A and B are shown apart, each in its own frame.
Chain A
Amino acid sequence: MSVSEFMQHLANGTSLGSLYALMAIGYTMVYGILRLINFAHGDIFMIGAYLTYYGIVYTSLPWWAVFILAPVLTGIMGLILEKLAYKPLRGSPRITVLISAIGASFLLQNLGTLVFGGRPKAFPIPKMLSGTLKIGGVSIAVISIVIPIITIILLLTLTFIIQKTKTGMAMRALSKDFETASLMGININKVISTTFFLGSFLAAVGGIMWGIKYPQLVPLMGVVPGLKCFIAAVIGGIGNITGAVIGGFILGLGEILIIAFLPTLTGYRDAFAFVLLIIILLVKPTGLMGERQAEKV
């Protein structure tokens, strides 16, 4: 493999990793607070992409406005999802809520098929973001550079929100000790809503960039990335945001580079994440950055 080819793969893997990271954050934040795998998160990502599609194709808004508006709307949808599918089940066995989440995921997928149609839609890519750059003989897609930059900006913003704002502090408190924190006068509903909003917002941004990178939208587009990003969150240590980002990059880079070096494995690309998941669960179930919780008898 030539150096320039390798650099291309690296850029490709980094941008894929960034996308995984954006989505993994949503899983990890929700799991941190509610101990719930939000199965519908991948479908929220799909909805973010579709909303953007409709915004650009059917309204006269400039593309950048749609790129901001669509994630906000998706965030609100995420928040509504929590109110309808998860909130009524607080205090129920965890598995019950997990089943509700699986139901919600299927509901969104099929609503997607119903409303958006099952046929693939071509994502309208803004001119500015298409094309390739040539850097020292290596041609790299513009989007492969834009994605990591946007990811970093969003991550810094998120870190600020979590570390410095009151809601962010409440989030951290809830994920450390739900019971105690809720007795301390924290408005649980508000914090949970914020969590879902932020997670869904990031997923939608991921969806938009996914659409630019792989410009074909189908209602089931969120399923596989959704599972993989949950896996990324587990690899990093679920509940830990830094871990989710690291997990996302490990997965994105790993997936691309393994195929780059061993092209015979191309067909097994989607299996990589699952194999990694199982190895991690067996070797270090708490993930790379997770903490262990002792069982009380």
Chain B
Amino acid sequence: MKNNNLIKSLIIIGLTIIALIVMNKFLDSYLKRIVNLCAIYIILGLSMNLINGFTGLFTLGHAGFMAIGAYTVAILTMPVAMKEMNFYMKPMVPFLLNLKMLEIPFLPPAASEFLWFIFALLMGGLLAALCGFLIGAPVLKLTDDYLAIATLGFSEIIRIVFTNTQSITNGALGLKGIPPRNHLLWAWSFAILTIIFMYSLMSSSYGKALKSIREDEVAARSMGINLFKHKVLSFSIGSFFAGVGGGLLAVSIGTIDPALFKFSLTFNILLIVVLGGMGNIKGTAISAIIITVAMEALRFLDEPINIGPIHTNALPGLRMVVFSLILMIVIIFKKDNVFKSTLQKARGRYAKDR
């Protein structure tokens, strides 16, 4: 039976890859970007679900970790000349300015570039994970809403720091001209790897231990599970993937600035996780695709409408009104089902037996 599943998964992955190669050939750059965004949001959704859904730690700091990944990848992959052009207000720190690809001897330049990009993404992820580790160590002792607000605070601090460290990040001006990596296989390979990683992690002893923390912290630690270690582990792994997702976002859209990493970005990911089901890998992947496509498809809502005799003015905001409503309707009507398995127990319920 196990083999059957493996074969089935391999077939699905194979078909996905073929489909991606075909799409890559025929889609225009706008549609390709949406397909890429789907993969990126799968990674982000899963990484948030690992922390919030599987481990039961309600954190809201994703945008900050994405920013770390995005800036790392941008700085590592941008050519020196491009960096100089960007930093016209205040020159970049020479060390970062001169950071550039290592040419690996005996390899064709294309292969070097390939490896360097992977290295840059991993560095983005690792730096985000390191930050996650440093931040997680003190705040993961908090619970519920305190943790949410503290992680949100950290994410804002990261953004404010990035806005102010002009000689590193170019401040509010952002970075333009990040070398694009638009081939669909880039983002999607990482998305598939993330999915496999999450399945493997969650079915392992460690994954089960994480779930036990979500179910009942007191029981989990009485069974010898080091809460702190496991929470930090989950948080750091989640941050790693958020960083990788941020890096992929940077090379997919080509331009980043601190305003991109506001709380509303975390909100989008939260929407995906809630819709996909807390602690549900498949659901998260599907809802990431649905939400990403819907976000794009509903862009017309913000624009002037001219259908035959009907003319309306541009209605900026309408699209996000729709998405906020979706989130609230889902949460209100699905209530506990959203958290199919989450967070009842000792944590107390809202205004009932707290």
Contacts and interface: CB of A to CB of B under 8 A. Distances in A.
Given A92-B350, A103-B327, A234-B146, A274 B317 contact: no
Contacts of B264: 106
B146 A285 contact: yes
A92 B354 CA distance: 11
Interface residues of B, number: 55
Contact of A91 (B142, B149, B349): B349
Given A103-B327, A112-B317, A89 B332 contact: yes
Contacts of B270: 99, 102
A79 B135 CA distance: 37
Chain B interface SS verdict (over half): helix
Given A103-B324, A104-B328, A267-B160, A95 B152 contact: no
Report, as a range, how many residues of chain A touch the other chain: 35 or more
Contacts of B58: 95, 98
B163 A267 contact: yes
Given A92-B336, A96-B331, A103-B331, A274 B153 contact: yes
Interface string A261-285: 0000001101101110110011001
B214 to A, nearest CB: 11
Given A231-B153, A267-B160, A268-B164, A93 B331 contact: no
B138 A282 contact: yes
Most buried by B among A94, A179, A297: A94
A96 B339 contact: yes
B161 interface: yes
Interface of B: 58, 138-139, 142, 144-146, 148-150, 152-154, 156-157, 160-161, 163-164, 218, 263-264, 267, 270, 274, 315-321, 323-325, 327-328, 331-332, 335-336, 338-339, 342-344, 346-354
25 contacts: A37-B149, A89-B331, A90-B350, A90-B351, A96-B331, A98-B148, A99-B270, A99-B327, A102-B270, A103-B324, A103-B328, A107-B321, A107-B328, A110-B319, A113-B317, A114-B316, A219-B317, A227-B152, A231-B153, A271-B157, A274-B153, A277-B153, A278-B139, A281-B150, A285-B142
